[in-house]
Every structure is written in structure tokens, then in C-alpha cells.
Structure 1
Amino acid sequence: MSDWVHNLPVTAMALVVFGFTYLLAAAALMAVTALATGERAKSFKAISPGLLPVLGIIFGLFVAFTAAQVWSDSDRANTAVSHEASALRAVVLLAAGLPAEKQAKLRGLVRDYVEQAANVEWPMMARQTASLRASPPNLVEALQLVIAPQEGQPIAQRELISALQSALDARRQRIIVSQAEVNPVKWFCLYLLAICEMLAIALVHCDNRLASALALGLFSTGVAAAVLLIAAHDRPFTGQISIRPEPLLQIMPNDPAGR
């Protein structure tokens, strides 16, 4: 689905999705009504109504499979952000075991990293342009700082290294899942099945225009609702309903000295 649709507010996205789906339903109704004359009308009526539940079940399965992917991607994104925030919180807490100078520097590096993630990486993930090619310099510097030999506190040093590595891994997972979306082939197949069902409804009810319009209206409303639900959650970090950096911001030290 197009980038501009994903970036719309939910209300505007609903108008676009419902409008497009109703347009398809109206086109199917008008096309069948115009063709349902003479012998063609008899042929249309010969189509078995049993075709409708079969197509409906296939469409429902497509919706379920597509939605399952979207929920999985959303869960992965939430988990990655939560793990990253937890790891950084552990770094902030464990920094208390370091000498005052290193403690202040480490907290400052964590703060700078969180600000960079929230202000730079999040908009890039929303545009699906975030990359793993460059490592975050603040976390790399923090890792180098705690790896450097120091007097005492070997357990705290090991825990700090582990927490920083966990934060780096969570960031990698966050950026990877930011690229996830329902691909165009799935969207095409979803709407193709919906169009097939719309045509089948119009054909079966071709002798009763009101019944056909009502049935198409009900089905197209269900289609639009399913598509809207999937589209609004399709990209975990894009749109009005997206994952925000609040978990990271909540663990950010008040200032570089941690006061």
C-alpha cells in the first residue's frame, strides 16, 4: 500500500479505504446490472448461490493470514523496544558502581543515544529508511568505556557489557522489524478476492437491484473494515497508530550527571 496512505490519520485513512471499497462495489453492481439483459440475465441467475460462502471463506482466510503477519510484526517491534529500554535502564543503574567521572560520562552517552534514537532514528524508521550499516556511536563509545580496564567492580563491568550488548541487539531487531509490511502481492490478492465476491453477489442477485445493493454494501463494509484494521497496523513505526519511543525516553537520565 502507498506510503501516503500509511501516513494518514486514522480518520482520513478510513475515508480512503471505505471510499475505494465502496467504489469497487458500485462498479461491480453497475457492470452486472448493465449486462443482465435477455439471455445473459438467465445465465447470471444460473450461477449457484453456494459460490458466495466459498469465496467468503477464502477471503476470510486471506484476511486472517495477513492480519497474523501484522500482529506478529507489531509484537516483535514492541518486544524490541521494551528490551532496548530495559537494557539501557540496567546500564543507568549499574553505572552507579563506576567512578564518578566514568559514571557521568556513561550516563551522558546513554542520554545522547536515547535522544538520537527518538529524534533521528524514529522518523527514519517511519519512512523505512533506517539502516544497520552504521553502529550507534554513543553506544559504541559506552561499550568501549566499560570494556577499558578499571580497578575493582569486575561483576558490574561484566553486567554493563552484557546490558550494552543487549541494547545493541534490541536496536538491530527494532530497525529490522521497521522494514516489515504487507507486500503489494498480498494487497492485490486480497482485493482481487473481494472483487470476485462482489461480482458473485451481484450476479446471484441480478434480478433484484435493491437486494444486490444491500448485500454488496454489507460485504464491502466488512472488507473495508478488515483492510483498515490491517493498514493502520501494517508498519509498526509508521502512522498515527505506531510504536513511540516513550519507553526509551522514560529511562533517560535527567542530565549527563544523572541528577
Structure 2
Amino acid sequence: MPNWLHGLPLFWLAAFVFGVAVLITAAIYAVVISLSTGERGRAFASISPGLLPPLGIVFALLVGFLAAQVWSSGDSATTAVSQEASSLRAVVLLSSEFPGEPEAQARSLVHRHIENAVTTEWPQMAEQGATLSVVSQPLADLQAMTLGLRPETPGQTIAQQEIVTSVEQALDARRQRIIVSESSVNEAKWGAVAALAILTLFAIAFVHSGNRRGAAIAMTLFALAATAAIIMIAAQERPFAGYFAVSPMPLEQVDPTLQR
């Protein structure tokens, strides 16, 4: 789906999808009913109602697969952000083992990383423009600084090792959230959903062509159900965009100065 649709509030996204569904349903109804006269009408009426359940099942299965993909991507994004926040929190806590300049520098680098993630990377991920080719320089500097420390006590030695591990975990979590931000339902899948929904609407119209009111009611019910399913998937298609976007709040909570 185009970027501008994902930028719409949930209400207007639903209104747009509903409006398109109404137009398509009305057009199919008008075409089939206008053609259901004479020999064509008898041919339409002879179509078995048993055709509808298989079409409905195939549509439901396709929607279910897409919903599972979308929800899985959302869960992966949430997990990556939480892991990144936990790793950075561990760095902040462990840096207290190196009081003075090392601690202040570590906290400053964590602050810079979170600030860049919230203000720059999040908007980029919402538009699927974030890339792994850009390394988080604050985390790279933090890693280099930690490796250059000279521990003076056993506690500092352990803290140094844990900080290095936490930075590596934060870098990996950042990579994961950027990779997940690229996930979406591709055009082929959306095309299959739309084609199957339209085909099912035609089938309903053919089966009920002898009863205009019955055809209108049946088509409206299916169109509403299909619209609800499409809105559900479209609203959550991109993990970092739209009404249900994954929030950077876990990262902001690591550095209270950035909380909005």
C-alpha cells in the first residue's frame, strides 16, 4: 500500500477502504443485475450456491495468513525495541563501576544513540527508509571506549565484559528493528486479496441475481466483512507506521531527558 495511506489516522484509513469497497460492490451489483435478463439471467441463476463456501474459505485462509504475517512482524519489532532498551539500560547501570569521565562519556553516548533513534531512525523506519549501511556511531564509539578501559578491580573487569556484551546486544537489536521495519504485505498478496474478494462478490451476485434485494444484502454483508479484515491488516501492515506503530518509549525510558 502507498505511504500516504499509512500516514492517515485510523478513522480516515477505514473510511477510505470502506469507500472503495462500497464503490466496487455497487458497481458489481449494477453490472450483474443489469445483465441478468433473458438467457443470461437463467444462466446466472443456474450457478450453484455451493460455489460460495469454497470461495469464502479460500478468502478467509488468505486473510488469516496475511494477519499472521503482520502480527508476527509487530511482535518481532516490539521484542527488538525492548531488547535494545534493556541492553542500553544495562550499560547505564554498569558504567557506574567506572566513576568520573568514563561513566559520563558512556551515559553521553547512550543518550546520543537514543536521541538519534527517536528523532531520525523512527521516522525513517515508518517510511521504510532506514538502512543497515548507516552504523550507529555512538554505539560504535561506546564499544571502542569500553574496550580501551583499564580495569583496576575484579568488579570493573566483570563490568567491562558485561558492557561490551550489552553494546553488542543493543547493536544486534537495532539491526533487527531496522530489518523488521522493511516488512510489509507485498503488492502480489494485496492483489490476490482484492481479486478474490471481487470474484466472491461476483459469485454472490450471480447466485442471487434472481432476487435483487437478497443479492444486495448478501453482497453488503460480505463486503463489510472483507472491509473489516482489510482494514485490520492495513492498519498494522508496517510495524513502525500508522495507528498501531511500535513506540520508541522503551528507549526513551532509558534516558528520561528524552521522554515526551
TM-score under structure 2 length normalisation: 0.96
Letter in 1 for 2:179: I
Is 1:226 aligned to residue 207 of structure 2? no
Q: What is aligned with 2:38?
A: 38
Give the match for residue 208 of structure 2: 205
1:78-227 superposed matches below 5 A:
78-152=78-152, 153-227=156-230
| Deviation of 1:140 (Å) | 0.6
Shift of 1:21: 1.1
1:178-229 Cα offsets, whole Å, 9 max, x none, are 0000000000000100011100100001011111111111100000000000
Go from structure 1 to structure 2 and tell me whether the alpha carbon gap of 1:20 and 1:172 turns closer, same or farther (over 3 Å shift): same
Specify whether residues 95 and 254 from structure 1 end up closer, same or farther in structure 2 by C-alpha distance, changes over 3 A only. Answer: farther
Counterpart-to-counterpart distance in 1, 2:50 and 2:61: 18
Give the 4+ runs in structure 1 shifted more than 3 A.
none
For 2:257 and 2:197, locate their aligned partners in 1 and report how far apart those are by CA, in whole Å. Answer: 53
Asked if the contact 1:114–1:249 (Cα under 8 Å) also holds between the matched residues in 2, the reply is yes
Pair 1:17 & 2:20 matched? no
8 Å Cα contact 1:111/1:253 also seen in 2: no
Equivalent pair of 2:28/2:201 in contact (CA under 8 Å): yes
Query: d(CA) in 2 for partners of 1:240 and 1:68?
Result: 18
Instruction: After superposition, give the CA deviation of every residue in 1:26-83 in whole Å (9 maximum; x if it has no partner).
Output: 1110110111010000000110000011100000000000111001100100000000
Task: Measure, in 2, the Cα distance between the counterparts of 1:219 and 1:112.
Answer: 51
Distance 2:140 2:32 in 1: 64
Consecutive unaligned residues of structure 1, counting only runs of 5 or more, are none
Q: Does 1:77 align with 2:83?
A: no
Cα deviation digits, residues 137-191 of structure 1 (max 9, x gap): 1111111110004132111000000000000000000000000000000000001
TM-score (norm. length: structure 1): 0.97
- Alpha carbons 2:85, 2:251 under 8 Å: kept: yes
Aligned position for 2:239: 236
Matched length? 255
RMSD value, Cα:
1.0
Q: Which residue of 2 aligns with 1:57?
A: 57
Work out the CA distance in 2 between the residues paired with 1:167 and 1:124: 19
Report the Cα offset of residue 253 of structure 1: 5.5
Over 3 Å counting, the alpha-carbon distance change for 1:79 and 1:181 in structure 2 is: same
| Residues 151 and 160, structure 2, Cα contact 8 Å, conserved in 1 | no
Q: C-alpha offsets along residues 75-114 of structure 1, whole Å, 9 cap, x if unaligned?
A: 1000000000000000000011013110011001101110
Supply the distance in 2 between the matched residues of 1:48 and 1:172 (Cα, whole angstroms): 53
- Gaps (5+ residues) in structure 2? none
SS of equivalent residue, structure 1 residue 162: helix
Name the CA distance, whole Å, in 2 between partners of 1:193 and 1:165: 46
Query: Using the alignment, how far apart are the partners of 2:257 and 2:74 within structure 1?
Result: 30
Report the CA distance shift for 1:42/1:254 in structure 2 as closer, same or farther (over 3 A). Answer: closer
Which secondary structure does the structure 1 equivalent of 2:49 belong to? coil
Quote the Cα distance in structure 2 between the aligned partners of 1:54 and 1:99. 69
